[in-house]
């Protein structure tokens, strides 16, 4: 099926239900930015600003440069493999089904927990406004709403996200304007947040490894390839642009916050953003910020749940996970069973802490990013033997640099991140060994059709 207007293919006398190609460049960019959520800068604002000595804006720029390299690699792979599945599909195409499975398994550590983090954050912030309602009740309520919207279809998700992003843009704009207007920094020190000294550079790099969490979303764009018009061209452009726009927004917001509140002392380091909002606009502005922050979490949860469900659909369709996950509802044309599984995992938002969830997500994301960079080299230079000077630069040097940078950021994670990550990898390896009779047979081959 090449488009939403094309009649469904017929298999064994039955129409084959596929995904609709309805998404264009603006929608995909919005999808990625919504996934990352500009207000996510406030999630770790106080923590990273303290750790880097007030260099949060510079840290975001370093993280943006690192993520752009990997975003480029995602674009190169989707140009050749324009199907759902993201890093799982690319690693499987380049390195075979076993490594593909392990990459997909690691990627699930990222995607499965990302919606849970959004529900958890939203519940915590709503509970701060209405303490009589427990955090878990808010989290579960939002979870059910997001699940229902995703079942109804990704086009509806995009429209709801557009409304929320509009409101987010307004409050972010007000925050930036007020931050510069009420700056407490001397004119000669305006750019101090972007100027790390030699001994501060390691702190900035370590902070960038944590801030990779803020960029989880540009890679999610590639999971929507089967629902995108002209995916070979549209997805790569959307991936780069969404990453760049989000990185600039993160750095700009962090800069405005540092100008308005140059001190690194906060009443509550986890709620530093709220403290600065109240400082700039009073208590009412602080409450409005909390509301918009929760709405941003809602938008992020919608698009992240949509993305991971497509990954589960792809792995189910290939037979490396139960094939029931590949079920697409004939009316709504959405993967309802995969969506239900993601929602079930997100119930962990009622028992886990934000710190525990972020630890798991960063490990999985950076490993998957590394594999995508390596996949570009393997796919273009080795498999397709494209060894011209231009190809070596585009498909060798740039992805190799992306791999080195990503691998280095991976080494900057904390000990608990490695413990959780390697336990998850071990579980995946055991599952793969059992399902392939201890590697004596290969997982089902990739099906590139819809």
> What's the confidence (pLDDT) of residue 4?
35
CA-CA distances (angstroms) from residue 322 to 102, 111, 297, 335, 377? Answer: 16, 18, 30, 13, 31
Give CA angle at 93 (91, 379), nearest 5°. Answer: 85
Within-domain flag for 302: yes
Within-domain flag for 24: no
Around 245, how many Cα atoms within 13 Å sit in the side-chain half-sphere? 21
Structure tokens at 430: 């055991």
Angle between helices 272-318 and 97-129 (to 10 degrees): 150
d(CA 226, CA 211): 29
d(CA 210, CA 63): 9
Task: Give the CATH number of the domain where residue 169 resides.
Answer: 1.20.1740.10
d(CA 112, CA 342): 6
Judged on CB neighbours under 10 Å (0-12, 13-18, 19+), 76 is: buried
271 with 43: CB under 8 angstroms?
no
Q: Model-level pTM?
A: 0.75
Could you identify the residue written with the tokens 């600039």?
248
Residues of the chain under the 50 pLDDT cut = 1-16, 446-450
Within-domain flag for 450: no
Within-domain flag for 226: yes
> Which H, E and C letters describe the chain, residue by residue?
CCCCCCCCCEECCEECCCCCCCECHHHHHHHHHHHHCHHHHHCCHHHHHHHCCCCHHHHHHHHHHHHHHHHHHHHHHHHHCCCCCHHHHHHHHHHCHHHHHHHHHHHHHHHHHHHHHHHHHHHHHHHHHCCCCCHHHHHHHHHHHHHHHHHHCHHHHHHHHHHHHHHHHHHHHHHHHHHHHCCCCCHHHCCHHHCCCCCCHHHHHHHHHHHHHHHCCCHHHHHHHHHECCHHHHHHHHHHHHHHHHHHHHHHHHHHHHHHCCCCCCCCHHHHHHHHHHHHHHHHHHHHHHHHHHHHHHHHHHHHHHHHHHHHHHHHHHCCCCHHHHCCCCCCCCCHHHHHHHHHHHHHHHCCCHHHHHHHHHHHHHHHHHHHHHHHHHHHHHHCCCCCHHHHHHHHHHHHHHHHHHHHHHHCCCHHHHHHHHHHHHHHHHHHHHHCCCCCCCCCCCCCCC
> What's the confidence (pLDDT) of residue 83?
66
Within-domain flag for 234: yes
Range of the domain at 75: 31-435
Judged on CB neighbours under 10 Å (0-12, 13-18, 19+), 6 is: exposed
Within-domain flag for 5: no
Within-domain flag for 443: no
Q: What is the pLDDT of residues 394-409, one digit of tens each?
A: 999 999 999 999 888 8
Within-domain flag for 332: yes
Using alpha carbons, select from 307, 353, 24, 40 the residue that is nearest to residue 168: 40
> What's the confidence (pLDDT) of residue 3?
36
CA 231, 237, 239, 242 torsion: positive or negative?
A: negative
> What's the confidence (pLDDT) of residue 302?
80
d(CA 284, CA 210): 31
Structure tokens at 16: 């084959």
> What's the confidence (pLDDT) of residue 85?
60
Q: What is the pLDDT of residues 259-285, one digit of tens each?
A: 999 988 887 777 788 788 888 888 888
Structural domain count of the chain: 1
């Amino acid at each position: 099926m090449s488009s939403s207007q094309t009649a469904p293919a017929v298999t064994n006398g039955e129409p084959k239900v596929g995904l609709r190609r309805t998404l264009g460049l603006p929608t995909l960019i919005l999808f990625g930015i919504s996934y990352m959520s500009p207000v996510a800068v406030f999630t770790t604002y106080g923590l990273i600003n303290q750790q880097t000595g007030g260099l949060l804006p510079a840290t975001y720029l370093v993280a943006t440069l690192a993520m752009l390299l990997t975003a480029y690699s995602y674009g190169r792979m989707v140009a050749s493999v324009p199907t759902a599945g993201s890093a799982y599909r690319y690693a499987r195409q380049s390195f075979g089904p076993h490594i593909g499975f392990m990459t997909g398994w690691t990627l699930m550590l990222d995607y499965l927990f990302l919606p849970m983090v959004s529900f958890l954050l939203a519940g915590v912030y709503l509970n701060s406004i209405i303490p009589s309602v427990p955090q878990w009740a808010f989290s579960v309520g939002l979870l059910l709403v997001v699940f229902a919207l995703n079942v109804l279809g990704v086009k509806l998700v995009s429209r709801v996200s557009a409304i929320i992003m509009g409101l987010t843009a307004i409050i972010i704009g007000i925050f930036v304007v007020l931050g510069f207007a009420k700056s407490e920094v001397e004119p000669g020190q305006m750019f101090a947040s972007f100027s790390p000294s030699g001994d501060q550079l390691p702190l900035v790099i370590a902070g960038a490894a944590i801030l990779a969490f803020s960029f989880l979303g540009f890679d999610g764009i590639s999971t929507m390839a089967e629902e995108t018009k002209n995916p070979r061209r549209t997805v790569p452009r959307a991936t780069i642009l969404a990453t760049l726009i989000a990185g600039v927004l993160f750095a700009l917001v962090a800069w405005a916050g540092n100008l308005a509140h140059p001190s690194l002392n906060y009443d509550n380091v986890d709620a530093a953003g709220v403290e600065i909002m109240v400082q700039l606009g009073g208590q009412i502005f602080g409450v409005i910020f909390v509301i918009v922050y929760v709405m941003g979490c809602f938008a992020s949860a919608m698009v992240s749940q949509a993305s991971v469900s497509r990954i589960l659909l792809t792995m189910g369709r290939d037979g490396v996970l139960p094939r029931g996950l590949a079920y697409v509802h004939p009316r709504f044309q959405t993967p309802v069973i995969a969506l239900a599984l993601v929602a079930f995992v997100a119930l962990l938002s009622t028992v886990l802490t934000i710190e525990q969830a972020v630890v798991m997500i960063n490990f999985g994301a950076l490993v998957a990013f590394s594999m995508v960079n390596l996949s570009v080299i393997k796919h273009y230079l080795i498999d397709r033997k494209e060894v011209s000077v231009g190809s070596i630069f585009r498909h060798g040097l740039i992805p190799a640099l992306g791999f080195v940078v990503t691998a280095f950021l991976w080494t900057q994670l904390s000990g608990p991140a490695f413990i959780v990550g390697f336990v998850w990898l071990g579980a995946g390896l055991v599952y793969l060994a059992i399902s392939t009779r201890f590697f004596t047979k290969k997982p089902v081959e990739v099906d590139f059709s819809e």
